[in-house]
Structure 1
Amino acid sequence: MKIRLLLKQSIKDFESKKILYFIFMIFLAVGFCIITGLHSFYIAYTNKIDQAERTLSKIAFNNYPKFASSNKLNDSSFEGYIDKNDNIYQFVYKIIDSNYSKDLKIKELKNNNKLEKTIKNYIDFIGSNNGELLKYQKLSNNSNEFIIGQKLFEHFSVEQIKNIATTTRSISNNLFAEYILNSDLYKTYDHQLSWNSFYIGKDFLGSNDVNLTLLTDLKEFNSSEVFNKINFASKDRSMIIIDSIYDINKLSKDLKTKYFDKRNYVFVSPHYLKKYNLKLGLIYKFSYNKTIYETLILGSGYKADSTDENLVQNVLLSSKLYYQIILQNRLSKLVAFNSKITNNYIEFEKLLDKDFMSIKKGLSVFKNHTYTFNVSIRSRDQQLKIIILILILMVILIIVTFYFISELLIQNIKDKLFILKSLGVNKIQLATLASFSSFIPLIVAFIIGISLSFSMKSIFINVNSDTFSFVIPKFNIPIQTIIFVSLLTLLMFIIFILTTSLHLSARKFSFQNALKSKTPNFLYQKFNRLIWWAKPNIRITTSFIFKNIYKNITTFLILIISFSLLLFSIQFTISITQSTNSVISRYKPYKSVKLTDNNLFYSTTINENKIYKPSYQTISSKEQLDELKQIKTIDDLVYMLINTTFNKQIVKNYPIDLKQYLLDKQFIHSIETSEFKDLIDQIIKTIDDFKSKNPNWSNRIDQLKQLIIDNQKTIQIEFNKIQNIIKEQRIVVANINNKYTNTKIALPVNFLFGKSVAFNSNKDYLSFYNDQINITQIIRNNKIEKIYLYTKFLSASYKDKLAYDFILKNNFINKDQLVKDSRTITNENIKINNQYKNLPVLNVVITNKMANYFSIKRNDILKLTPSFVDLKSDFYIYAKVNQISKKDSLYNAIYFDKQDYFNLLLEYKNHLNKNSLNSTKNNLKEQLETIIRQINNDHTTLNNISFSTSSIPTNIRYFTIPIMSFLSFDYNNKCLNITNNTNSNGSQITNYWPEKNNSFLRVDSIENSAIIRLLKSIDQKVYNFEILAKILKSNVFAMSSAIKQTRNYIVVVMIVVIMILVLLILYENKKVIILLKSIGYKKFSIIKYFISGYFIGASLALLISFIIVKKLIEILSYSFATSYGIGLEFLLTKDLVLIGILVYLVFVVLVLISISFFIRKQSVTRILEQT
């Protein structure tokens, strides 16, 4: 009877609150949907990427076989590979004999004919330990075998990594692996792979670009015996990840013989397979170089370092097919896998966990491990952070809401539990009754949530569907997710049981206490006496607030979480949009800039005293630019070389100073499109023509001609490099303006010698001095953090108001604190060597990206060393971070006043160390004084970059080749010599060659790579703000799109949470509402008294949620700055405020409507029933 009574009471309770339970179930279902979907995607996503990352460092063979020397030839009990032909023995012997033959112990073994026996015994021991080289340490230190093991370990872990620049050890620590890799058993093709157009069948004609890659997992062994002894685990053997393989047994005998046995098969990336609906185990035709091939698709797979190749998918070819298709067209040489490069790139690791290096992208040789994912992988990291954040907030919201609902449900059925207990129902039965009210909705919501979770998971899968090579199944829930959600459900059930148990165990839980009159609590009575003077309506309102204070706090906490969750999803997309748009708005109307690292000074080591001079002069107007002599033809080039080489105006109207010339874009175009032989023939012919017309200069002209002829090979190498670089730059420039894809149009690139174009600031240009600076210390709260980093700086003169305001407008400093005759220098107490020193510091502004990237805060003190000074020297200044430019998120940079910077550099000896300016720096002091005078006379001095309204930066259109040395042509003894001339200042071509030492002072041995590196830097640090904004938007599109779609689910959760709160408020206060109505209170008065506390709680919750969202955005800002180059900023925009107010009004309106409807429904009959 008790059980029937319990069930009847439970059903009756459920029917009386069916709306509450229904909404409660919706809340849990949507919550489980979001949590399960996000967690499922998170696990599947990270598993795929982690598998790729782990594969990069996995050992070549997952499980090495045991092996032994020919000593075990007749041992039938030995299970492993026996070196019956002494191949491993010969391998070890050659290493010992070649490298350690002079070792006394090895000599002794060899002379006593014990070396062979010792090596074979060593092989038997190491082979029994699966080849691990480190196991030699288990041998007796006095044994001969120990000596062999020690020498081999030394050879593989020390000798082969000499001069290899890697950050970790780079050798395999397994003898069998070394033997295999250095023998003809393991072969591969040592060649460069290329991108090619590839299609399968007529439907895919030319539709896709595919990376044709050698399938390194399926390299052939010549010896099947060795092959069969190795546990062939393809997923762990290299960087190729096999996703699925067709069951070969299902192939017909003919297909197996024709395709599989002859290795005529491919593996296709899962994404490519799905996109074009290809099937495993079927034969497809594809075209390459106008030849049709038939092949079997054996499985799906992808390279670990191409998981993010969304534009170009992988087709992995077996080596047989690769040789047939590729090498016959390009290379026919089959090389053994034993090159020095390969061996040097095999990683050594003590515990074998990270033993094998990954295979270089695009190459079939092993590569240095310095491997990084590109922006798609970094995007993955940010998506996962957002997912984790939403998961955490959602889990907290569900648990907190569930707890408070459990509390209120127990409160609402307390009277019934009192009565049941008085009838003899025990606590277990009462707990069971109470549990029905939560257990059924919880289980139903769990099932519905799991079913709906696939839609949530699909959101993130769809937005990333074109980003990765792998495919994440939509209708699959990882076991980790099932465990996680099950534990969450169990936790919620435990929470309800514990809550019920606490109420049932309370002392007041008795039938007698249930009948006692409920007097107001002591605090309320005391407070009510204090406000005896207040009007009745105020006292009634306060009584409601006190009565519902627990519910008000509950509402307050739940609304904080739900408001924060919704507002974060909105603010995140607003911040992303604002950050990408700010790239344009921050620099508007300027569209582009190219930052530079051209050094201000250069030096020579011709004598003890270093001499410093500026490496360029600034052209600040178009009039100055027009004064330069333009080199447009070969004749112009020859005349320029004649005059500048001999420092005489042999050819009229051509300057003798190389800085007065400009290599015009038409001349650059002729280099791009010319053959070297034709070019050199033209130069020689022009020289000869000039010589015939100017016989007085024939000797010198002959010298110049001979110089060119003698160095023709060197010139050709440089010409080819420069030509290739120009062609590469065409691609870069064409990305900015597609008209330059036409090779008949000259690139807008002109070369200047020793001069930099930085037009005076106006509506079209902003002119700055830009260079590199070193930060060696960050001082914060008198604590010194030593660092070593390079960063850029932009400085402007206060006389250039446009440029100055652009970078330093917000650099507010109290004028009373400024050092005399400065605008940004103040005195600060800095703790150095446990002593405080009052030192002048430069107040600077840093970009937001730099602040995020290096965790630099306002008021931090930076120790700055100019880039032209050795970091070991004591030449430095201090700078104080006065402001952080929040809108500058593209690059790391420091902004400061140009005059103050150089003044502080000059004065450093006065406040740091009197002896710091040693004899080798005297010229530097003089140069600084000269520069300061020049800046005071002309504020554009040293300016070398311009922000431009043109889409192509000024520094690309006018590219500066800086002065690099004092090397000069010297006409002496009827021949041209290259000597050091400290008076030289960029007037000759040799001044633009880097100087090494006296042995390099010849044209044919001048290091040419510096100029090549310089030319390659044309496309570096180039910022076209409109294009960058588009790129940034595309990089974060998947994430923002997923968050926008997730927001729909969050809105449902938000509405349902509000409805739950409203219903709980009504159920909790139902009797009071009915009582007030029965004694004649009007509906408006009841509502006013009733909702005050809840509205106050909701208002505070909204305000606090804004603060929480702000903090969350700030936390994410750092990782976004490092990944995308843009920081996130909390913006209290009109849209966000309106949405916050709208959400608040939804809560208010729902409360008002619900209470109003509830009051209107009450009648005298219902009142009598309730009483």
Structure 2
Amino acid sequence: MKIRLLLKQSIKDFESKKILYFIFMIFLAVGFCIITGLHSFYIVYTNKIDQAERTLSKIAFNNYPKFASSNKLNDSSFEGYIDKNDNIYQFVYKIIDSNYSKDLKIKELKNNNKLEKTIKNYIDFIGSNNGELLKYQKLSNNSNEFIIGQKLFEHFSVEQIKNIATTTRSISNNLFAEYILNSDLYKTYDHQLSWNSFYIGKDFLGSNDVNLTLLTDLKEFNSSEVFNKINFASKDRSMIIIDSIYDINKLSKDLKTKYFDKRNYVFVSPHYLKKYNLKLGSIYKFSYNKTIYETLILGSGYKADSTDENLVQNVLLSSKLYYQIILQNRLSKLVAFNSKITNNYIEFEKLLDKDFMSIKKGSSVFKNHTYTFNVSIRSRDQQLKIIILILILMVILIIVTFYFISELLIQNIKDKLFILKSLGVNKIQLATLASFSSFIPLIVAFIIGISLSFSMKSIFINVNSDTFSFVIPKFNIPIQTIIFVSLLTLLMFIIFILTTSLHLSARKFSFQNALKSKTPNFLYQKFNRLIWWAKPNIRITTSFIFKNIYKNITTFLILIISFSLLLFSIQFTISITQSTNSVISRYKPYKSVKLTDNNLFYSTTINENKIYKPSYQTISSKEQLDKLKQIKTIDDLVYMLINTTFNKQIVKNYPIDLKQYLLDKQFIHSIETSEFKDLIDQIIKTIDDFKSKNPNWSNRIDQLKQLIIDNQKTIQIEFNKIQNIIKEQRIVVANINNKYTNTKIALPVNFLFGKSVAFNSNKDYLSFYNDQINITQIIRNNKIEKIYLYTKFLSASYKDKLAYDFILKNNFINKDQLVKDSRTITNENIKINNQYKNLPVLNVVITNKMANYFSIKRNDILKLTPSFVDLKSDFYIYAKVNQISKKDSLYNAIYFDKQDYFNLLLEYKNHLNKNSLNSTKNNLKEQLETIISQINNDHTTLNNISFSTSSIPTNIRYFTIPIMSFLSFDYNNKFLNITNNTNSDGSQITNYWPEKNNSFLRVDSIENSAIIRLLKSIDQKVYNFEILAKILKSNVFAMSSAIKQTRNYIVVVMIVVIMILVLLILYENKKVIILLKSIGYKKFSIIKYFISGYFIGASLALLISFIIVKKLIEILSYSFATSYEIGLEFLLTKDLVLIGILVYLVFVVLVLISISFFIRKQSVTRILEQT
């Protein structure tokens, strides 16, 4: 009887509130859909990336450093690691002594006590080439150092190559790396190697970007044995993630014989298989060096440090196939390693500093491996942060809403539960009856939500489908997600049971206290006595306030969460769009800039004094530019070489100083498109023509001609390098403007020697002095942090208002604090060596990227050392970070006042109580005084870059080769030769070759010439703001697109939440509405009394949700700035405000319509039926 009564009552309860239950189930279903879909993607996505990360070692070489033997201990000009303890020397000596002691040449060196000197000379040479073992071939074949290099290369490489056909042994090509790995000082216990990849362009499937690389993850056998995975306990660890391998037993006899037994197979990525609908066991074709290869797809896999499939497709070759195709490039490069002492690259560098004397410039050559090589991590971290944020908000919303609905359901059946209790139904049975109210919709919603979650998961899978090498399956749910959602469901059910139990256990849930519960609230009674004098309508209004205060708080909380969730999904995409567009708007109308790497000074040593000279002069107008002699033809080139070589006005109208020339873009184009033989023939012909017309100079001209002929091969090497670099730069320029893909059109690149073009600031240009600077300390809260940072700076003169405002407009400083005659220098108390000193500091602005990247904050003090002096020098100044330019997220840079900077540099000896400028044997003081005087007379002095309205930066169109002073042509005793000349001033072409101790005509001198190195840097530090904005948009496209699609689900949640709140309001106040209607209140009065509190709560919820969204965007801004080079900014746009108001109005209108409809439906007969 009781059970039947319970069931009957439960069914009746469902029927009476079927609309609420239906909407409640929709809300739960959509909520479970979002939570399950996001959590499922999060788990699978994270596991795939983590699988790659776990394979990678902790410490990595970002690039190999330069190093030298203890010979260089007293060489202040050397930058790199000096083997102060002779540990590298001992390492090399043991290898030579243990393996090659019987070699006749080694015996001879040992017997003559020349082995130590030879090894150290070899270390100096290889160290200057960053440790590359193969570089020994550039040494003279007859030199002792060549013998050492040959033996070491054989030891580390050749011997290991012999067995490459049957093993996948790791081979390294770097002496510094081999020392680190084999030294007991660093305790490395495993390492990983990255093998050279070879770009082949298109394959036969149509993939545009294919790299061939070595598959090192399997031990291979010439048999049908199933492959064994790599043993991760071994010293050499692979970087290949194997996803699947074809069952060899299923191979046909023909395929097995033709491909597998001959070990002719490849592995491709899971993404590649899916993209081209390939199957394991099928045939893959590609072309390399005009040869077509057919091979078997034996499995799928990808490189752990290259999970970004949108960059390139790596086809992994078996070692035999790799050996067959790419024999000449066998060597691999060490990428990463683990140490028993540390897994932190900063700590690892401390070990190096104990082992070596390090004289370093720039940032570290070591990095945490995963952050250096796995680009996908940046994208992953940001996507996961957004997913976690939405998950948290959604879980909170669903739990809070569920709790309040549970409260309502229990309150609505409380009377029935009381009656059933009076009939003898026990608490367990009553709790079971109440639980039906939540259990059924909860279970139904759980099933529906899980089923729909695949659509939510697909959103993130689809937008990332072309991004990664791996494939994320759509129709699976990881066990972690099932557990998470099950626990969430269980938690919600427990919440309902606990809420029910609390109500059933309450004292008032008894016959004795039933009437007492109907009495008014105690606080209300007290308050009502205080307003006894008020009008009836006021007292009725206050009664509604007290009655509905709990419901208003409920509505308020739910609306805050749901408003925040919706507005965040909208604001996020607005912020992304605005931030990427701000790259253009920040620099508008300027479209491009190239930051320079050229130092202010070049130096020479004369009579033991270091003499500094300016490395360039500024060209600030087109009139000055037009005065330069333009080299457009081969004849122009020859006449330039004649006059500058002999330093005589031999050819009229051609200057004798190389700095007075401009290599015109048409001439550069002729270099790019000419054959060397045609070019050299034309040069010889021009020389002969000139000689016939100028017989007085025939002897000198013959020597120049003979010099060219004798060294034609060497000159061709230089020519080919320059030609290749120009062709490479065409690709760069063509990316900015595709018309330059046409090789018939000359590149817009002109070369200048010792002249830097930085046009006066106007509507088309902004002109700055740009250079590099070292930061060696950050002082914060009187604590010193030692660092080695090498960053850019931009400075402008206050006389150039356009440029000055562009970088320093917001550098607000109290005028009373300024040092006399300065605009940005103030005095600060700085703690140095446990003593406070009152020192002048330069107030600077830093870019947002620099602040985020190096964790620099406002009011931090930076110790700055100019780039033209050694880091060991005590020549430095202090700067205070006065402002952070939030809109500058593209590059690391410091902004400051140009005059104040040089004034502070000049006066630093006074405030540090040192006399270094005077005591040091150099002319820096005189140079600084000259610069200050020049700047005061002409504010464009030193300016070397321009922000330009052209899409191609000014400093590419006019590329500066700064003055250097090394080798010179010398004409003595009627003979032309090449000598070291510290007095040379960049007026001759040979001044730009840096090998002082080697002949100008050496191949390695030419390869390392300043011209070649500078040409290679044309495309570095180039910023085209429109293109960068497009790149940034593409970087965040996947995330932005996913959030936009997720927003559709959030909108559904928002609508359902509003409907639930409306129904909650109606059900909670149903009896009150009926009461007011029955005693004759008008509809408007009922609505006014009834819903005013809800509307106030909704208004406050909307305002608070804007604040919450603003905080969430600020939290994400830092990580976006470091990952994508854009900072997110909260913008209260019209769209965001209108959507917020629209959602608010939807809530208001639905409440009004619902209550109005409910009131209209009430009649006297209906009221009597319900009372």
Instruction: State the TM-score, normalized to the length of structure 2.
Output: 0.82
Partner of 1:376: 376
The answer to whether the Cα contact below 8 Å between 1:592 and 1:952 also exists between their aligned partners in 2 is yes
Rounded Cα–Cα distance in structure 1 between residues aligned with 2:465 and 2:381: 16
Q: How much does 1:475 deviate?
A: 0.7
Q: How much does 1:1125 deviate?
A: 1.4
Q: How much does 1:484 deviate?
A: 1.4
Q: How much does 1:786 deviate?
A: 3.5
What are the superposed Cα offsets for residues 583-634 of structure 1, whole Å, 9 maximum, x if unpaired? Answer: 1122122111111121112223444432222210011111111110111223
- In structure 2, the CA distance between the partners of 1:405 and 1:157, relative to structure 1 (3 Å rule), is farther
- In structure 2, the CA distance between the partners of 1:709 and 1:988, relative to structure 1 (3 Å rule), is same
Q: How much does 1:912 deviate?
A: 2.6
- In structure 2, the CA distance between the partners of 1:341 and 1:1071, relative to structure 1 (3 Å rule), is closer
- In structure 2, the CA distance between the partners of 1:61 and 1:220, relative to structure 1 (3 Å rule), is farther
- In structure 2, the CA distance between the partners of 1:1003 and 1:76, relative to structure 1 (3 Å rule), is closer
The answer to whether the Cα contact below 8 Å between 2:197 and 2:213 also exists between their aligned partners in 1 is no
Rounded Cα–Cα distance in structure 1 between residues aligned with 2:626 and 2:130: 75
- In structure 2, the CA distance between the partners of 1:405 and 1:887, relative to structure 1 (3 Å rule), is same
Structure 1 window deviating more from structure 2 (386-395 vs 196-205): it is 196-205
- In structure 2, the CA distance between the partners of 1:493 and 1:1040, relative to structure 1 (3 Å rule), is same
Partner of 1:828: 828
Partner of 2:549: 549
What are the superposed Cα offsets for residues 139-180 of structure 1, whole Å, 9 maximum, x if unpaired? Answer: 999999999999999999999999999999999999999999
The answer to whether the Cα contact below 8 Å between 1:195 and 1:212 also exists between their aligned partners in 2 is no
Q: Secondary structure at the match of 1:413?
A: helix
- In structure 2, the CA distance between the partners of 1:550 and 1:185, relative to structure 1 (3 Å rule), is closer
The answer to whether the Cα contact below 8 Å between 2:633 and 2:667 also exists between their aligned partners in 1 is yes
Rounded Cα–Cα distance in structure 2 between residues aligned with 1:922 and 1:178: 40
Q: Secondary structure at the match of 1:292?
A: strand
Structure 1 window deviating more from structure 2 (955-964 vs 557-566): it is 557-566
Q: How much does 1:1025 deviate?
A: 1.2
Rounded Cα–Cα distance in structure 1 between residues aligned with 2:217 and 2:926: 65
Q: How much does 1:1049 deviate?
A: 0.4
- In structure 2, the CA distance between the partners of 1:498 and 1:731, relative to structure 1 (3 Å rule), is same
The answer to whether the Cα contact below 8 Å between 1:239 and 1:359 also exists between their aligned partners in 2 is no
Q: Secondary structure at the match of 1:917?
A: helix
Q: How much does 1:393 deviate?
A: 1.5
Identical amino acids, percent of aligned pairs: 99
Q: Secondary structure at the match of 2:346?
A: coil
Rounded Cα–Cα distance in structure 1 between residues aligned with 2:771 and 2:742: 34
- In structure 2, the CA distance between the partners of 1:1109 and 1:355, relative to structure 1 (3 Å rule), is farther
Q: Secondary structure at the match of 1:297?
A: strand
Rounded Cα–Cα distance in structure 1 between residues aligned with 2:69 and 2:976: 68
- In structure 2, the CA distance between the partners of 1:176 and 1:15, relative to structure 1 (3 Å rule), is farther
Q: How much does 1:773 deviate?
A: 1.8
Where structure 1 has 5 or more consecutive residues not aligned to the other structure, the ranges are: none
Structure 1 window deviating more from structure 2 (970-979 vs 444-453): it is 970-979
What are the superposed Cα offsets for residues 975-1006 of structure 1, whole Å, 9 maximum, x if unpaired? Answer: 45666666543323344333667999999857
What are the superposed Cα offsets for residues 825-879 of structure 1, whole Å, 9 maximum, x if unpaired? Answer: 3334444445544433323222222222233333333332222233333333333
What are the superposed Cα offsets for residues 210-244 of structure 1, whole Å, 9 maximum, x if unpaired? Answer: 43444444564469999889989999973333323
Rounded Cα–Cα distance in structure 2 between residues aligned with 1:150 and 1:288: 30
Structure 1 window deviating more from structure 2 (449-458 vs 81-90): it is 81-90
Q: Secondary structure at the match of 1:349?
A: helix
Q: Secondary structure at the match of 2:791?
A: strand
Q: How much does 1:324 deviate?
A: 7.0
Rounded Cα–Cα distance in structure 1 between residues aligned with 2:111 and 2:719: 60
What are the superposed Cα offsets for residues 279-334 of structure 1, whole Å, 9 maximum, x if unpaired? Answer: 33455777778877665444333333442123643444445666777779999999
The answer to whether the Cα contact below 8 Å between 1:749 and 1:957 also exists between their aligned partners in 2 is yes
Q: How much does 1:477 deviate?
A: 0.9
- In structure 2, the CA distance between the partners of 1:330 and 1:818, relative to structure 1 (3 Å rule), is closer
Structure 1 window deviating more from structure 2 (450-459 vs 2-11): it is 2-11
Structure 1 window deviating more from structure 2 (80-89 vs 425-434): it is 80-89
The answer to whether the Cα contact below 8 Å between 1:68 and 1:128 also exists between their aligned partners in 2 is yes
- In structure 2, the CA distance between the partners of 1:1075 and 1:124, relative to structure 1 (3 Å rule), is farther
Q: How much does 1:1018 deviate?
A: 0.3
- In structure 2, the CA distance between the partners of 1:313 and 1:502, relative to structure 1 (3 Å rule), is same
- In structure 2, the CA distance between the partners of 1:1104 and 1:635, relative to structure 1 (3 Å rule), is same
- In structure 2, the CA distance between the partners of 1:101 and 1:951, relative to structure 1 (3 Å rule), is closer
- In structure 2, the CA distance between the partners of 1:113 and 1:418, relative to structure 1 (3 Å rule), is farther
Rounded Cα–Cα distance in structure 2 between residues aligned with 1:836 and 1:957: 50
Q: How much does 1:89 deviate?
A: 28
Q: How much does 1:470 deviate?
A: 2.0
Q: Secondary structure at the match of 2:59?
A: coil
Instruction: Tell me how large the CA RMSD over aligned residues is.
Output: 11.5
Q: How much does 1:729 deviate?
A: 0.4
Partner of 1:724: 724
The answer to whether the Cα contact below 8 Å between 2:165 and 2:320 also exists between their aligned partners in 1 is no
What are the superposed Cα offsets for residues 345-371 of structure 1, whole Å, 9 maximum, x if unpaired? Answer: 999999999999999999999999788
Q: How much does 1:1008 deviate?
A: 2.3
Partner of 2:1048: 1048
Matches within 5 A, 1:1120-1135: 1120-1135=1120-1135
Q: How much does 1:395 deviate?
A: 1.5
Rounded Cα–Cα distance in structure 2 between residues aligned with 1:25 and 1:526: 42
What are the superposed Cα offsets for residues 1093-1112 of structure 1, whole Å, 9 maximum, x if unpaired? Answer: 22222222212211221121
The answer to whether the Cα contact below 8 Å between 2:81 and 2:358 also exists between their aligned partners in 1 is no
- In structure 2, the CA distance between the partners of 1:611 and 1:995, relative to structure 1 (3 Å rule), is farther
Partner of 2:746: 746
Rounded Cα–Cα distance in structure 2 between residues aligned with 1:72 and 1:1102: 69
Q: Secondary structure at the match of 1:213?
A: strand
- In structure 2, the CA distance between the partners of 1:928 and 1:349, relative to structure 1 (3 Å rule), is closer
The answer to whether the Cα contact below 8 Å between 2:83 and 2:356 also exists between their aligned partners in 1 is no
Rounded Cα–Cα distance in structure 2 between residues aligned with 1:109 and 1:406: 92
What are the superposed Cα offsets for residues 722-772 of structure 1, whole Å, 9 maximum, x if unpaired? Answer: 221111101101111112112222211111000000111122111111111
- In structure 2, the CA distance between the partners of 1:1049 and 1:619, relative to structure 1 (3 Å rule), is same
Q: How much does 1:940 deviate?
A: 0.6
What are the superposed Cα offsets for residues 1010-1038 of structure 1, whole Å, 9 maximum, x if unpaired? Answer: 43222111001111111111111111111
Structure 1 window deviating more from structure 2 (632-641 vs 25-34): it is 632-641
- In structure 2, the CA distance between the partners of 1:526 and 1:894, relative to structure 1 (3 Å rule), is farther
The answer to whether the Cα contact below 8 Å between 1:604 and 1:995 also exists between their aligned partners in 2 is no
Rounded Cα–Cα distance in structure 1 between residues aligned with 2:998 and 2:377: 49
Rounded Cα–Cα distance in structure 2 between residues aligned with 1:965 and 1:67: 24
Q: How much does 1:575 deviate?
A: 0.8
The answer to whether the Cα contact below 8 Å between 1:185 and 1:221 also exists between their aligned partners in 2 is no
Q: How much does 1:1138 deviate?
A: 1.2
The answer to whether the Cα contact below 8 Å between 1:845 and 1:882 also exists between their aligned partners in 2 is yes
- In structure 2, the CA distance between the partners of 1:809 and 1:163, relative to structure 1 (3 Å rule), is farther
The answer to whether the Cα contact below 8 Å between 2:669 and 2:747 also exists between their aligned partners in 1 is yes
Structure 1 window deviating more from structure 2 (180-189 vs 368-377): it is 180-189
The answer to whether the Cα contact below 8 Å between 2:605 and 2:982 also exists between their aligned partners in 1 is no
The answer to whether the Cα contact below 8 Å between 1:798 and 1:897 also exists between their aligned partners in 2 is yes
Rounded Cα–Cα distance in structure 1 between residues aligned with 2:1087 and 2:679: 93
- In structure 2, the CA distance between the partners of 1:902 and 1:328, relative to structure 1 (3 Å rule), is closer
The answer to whether the Cα contact below 8 Å between 2:40 and 2:477 also exists between their aligned partners in 1 is yes
Q: How much does 1:257 deviate?
A: 4.0
Structure 1 window deviating more from structure 2 (252-261 vs 664-673): it is 252-261
Q: How much does 1:493 deviate?
A: 1.7
The answer to whether the Cα contact below 8 Å between 2:580 and 2:1126 also exists between their aligned partners in 1 is yes
Q: How much does 1:125 deviate?
A: 42
- In structure 2, the CA distance between the partners of 1:436 and 1:138, relative to structure 1 (3 Å rule), is farther
The answer to whether the Cα contact below 8 Å between 1:194 and 1:362 also exists between their aligned partners in 2 is no
- In structure 2, the CA distance between the partners of 1:349 and 1:658, relative to structure 1 (3 Å rule), is closer
- In structure 2, the CA distance between the partners of 1:268 and 1:224, relative to structure 1 (3 Å rule), is closer
Q: Secondary structure at the match of 1:184?
A: coil
Q: Secondary structure at the match of 2:1086?
A: helix
Matches within 5 A, 1:961-1110: 961-965=961-965, 967-976=967-976, 984-994=984-994, 1008-1110=1008-1110
What are the superposed Cα offsets for residues 665-696 of structure 1, whole Å, 9 maximum, x if unpaired? Answer: 12212222233344344434444443444343
- In structure 2, the CA distance between the partners of 1:676 and 1:114, relative to structure 1 (3 Å rule), is closer
What are the superposed Cα offsets for residues 100-141 of structure 1, whole Å, 9 maximum, x if unpaired? Answer: 999999999999999999999999999999999999999999
Structure 1 window deviating more from structure 2 (555-564 vs 71-80): it is 71-80
Q: Secondary structure at the match of 2:226?
A: helix
